[in-house]
Amino acid sequence: MDTMEIPNFGTVAVCPYNNSHQVPVERMQKHLVRCRRQYPNAKMAVCPFNNAHHVPEQELSLHTKACPDRAHMETFKYAISTNRNTLPQTGVYVRADGTTVEATSPPMDEVPDNEENWDDMDAPRYDPQQYCLNNPIIRKATHMTASEKRRFYESERARHEMLKKRNA
């Protein structure tokens, strides 16, 4: 992707679908989605390392070998260090109960247990209708006849007055 600096505007990139499109780098990915729809017959492929890299299909293998964003993916895929000191080594570890064990990593009993268990919560069931009845929530009458709406709003006024007196 060709980029250039334009004074008083910022860095722009040239669209691979249409060379006359010069788009700010921050908006290039959004532009490419739209431009790809405008040019459905363009034989372009998307880089597996960066979705903002659209290259001709015959150049994709060359691009993936030299893509600048490939390094970011490689750091996650492979170990960076080849130093043997960073590899796990056998050692003697002391458990929480005072006994010792020879292992390549600390014993699992030293890992603290997570005390939070969401399955054992004794919380009451949430009922939205009941919550609205007991709190000053404004409700709307829907799918009712005119007389039903009138009765509903009268009962709502009485409910709100009762809640005001109870909370005062």
State how far the Cα of 50 lies from the Cα of 69, in Å rounded to an integer: 7
Q: List per-block mean pLDDT (blocks of 10 residues) for the chain, which spans 168 residues.
A: 82 91 90 91 90 90 88 68 53 67 58 65 84 92 94 96 90
| Residues 6 or more apart in contact with residue 75 via CB below 8 angstroms | none
Query: Which of the 8 DSSP states describes residue 113?
Result: P
The verdict on pTM exceeding 0.75 is no
Domain boundaries, the chain: 3-76, 128-167
Cα 71 to Cα 33: distance, rounded to the nearest angstrom: 25
